[in-house]
Amino acid sequence: MKKTAIGLVLMFILAIILYVFNALGGFNEIEVSSKNLGQIELAGIYYRGTPQDAALGESFRKMENLQKSNIGAILHTIYYIEPAGKLDTMEVFVGIEKKWADPSDLTEKTFDASQAIVAEIKANRWVMPGPNKVKSKIESFAKNNELPLPNLFIDQIKGPEEVRVIAIQKHPVK
């Protein structure tokens, strides 16, 4: 009798976990497609340092405030070097479309996205797939469709539960 009750409780808990995971979008597919996005022109802040440095948080806050003050602007991040731990060096560019910013005090980046592979992810941040899973999906799509393998990934943070990853093969124009 005790084993049956314990089994039922465990099944009930598992059902709740799966329900919550599904409700948060954990089972949503990563939608991958090929698109011609033309030129992507960004203005933002390039940061090199450790994840714990206050300058990283300040860079994100500055660009988020600029993004929020311009309806229609979307935050973009490009991780050139991902940190493996809190003390590892990282390189990231955080910016918005150049048309929404005064580029005089910001770094400008222009990319050719005419042959981009785009991954659309819609899920709560707690169940959103990790960058390696998204990168793997994009690379599989490129191989299956005989497209060049991308070597640069631009994350567009469209909202708290929506991210668009633009994968391109080329390096910045400038």
Can you give the pLDDT at residue 172? 47
CA distance 97 to 108: 10
Q: Do residues 142 and 160 lie in contact, with contact meaning Cβ atoms separated by under 8 Å?
A: no
Output the CA–CA distances (angstroms, integers) from residue 92 to 14, 111, 155, 162, in the order listed.
38, 16, 11, 20
Order the strands of the 31-35 sheet from edge to edge: 31-35, 116-122, 162-168, 152-159, 75-81, 90-97, 39-49, 107-112
User: What CATH architecture applies to the domain 31-168?
Assistant: Alpha-Beta Barrel (3.20)
pLDDT tens string 11-30: 989 888 888 888 888 788 88
- Tell me the residue type at 20: V
Distance (Å, whole) CA 44 – CA 63: 7
CA-to-CA dists, residue 100 to 65, 67, 110, 157, angstroms: 12, 8, 14, 15
- Token duo for residue 62: 């500055």
Confidence band (pLDDT; 50, 70, 90) for 154?
very high
pLDDT tier for residue 174 given thresholds of 50, 70 and 90: very low
Contact 127, 96 (CB under 8 A): no
pLDDT value for 126: 85
Per-residue confidence (pLDDT) for residue 110, from 0 to 100: 92
- Residues 129-146, mean pLDDT to the nearest whole number: 92
For residue 4, the model assigns a pLDDT of 87
Confidence of residue 171 (pLDDT cuts 50, 70, 90): low
pLDDT digits (tens, 9 = 90+) for 82-98: 877 777 889 999 999 99
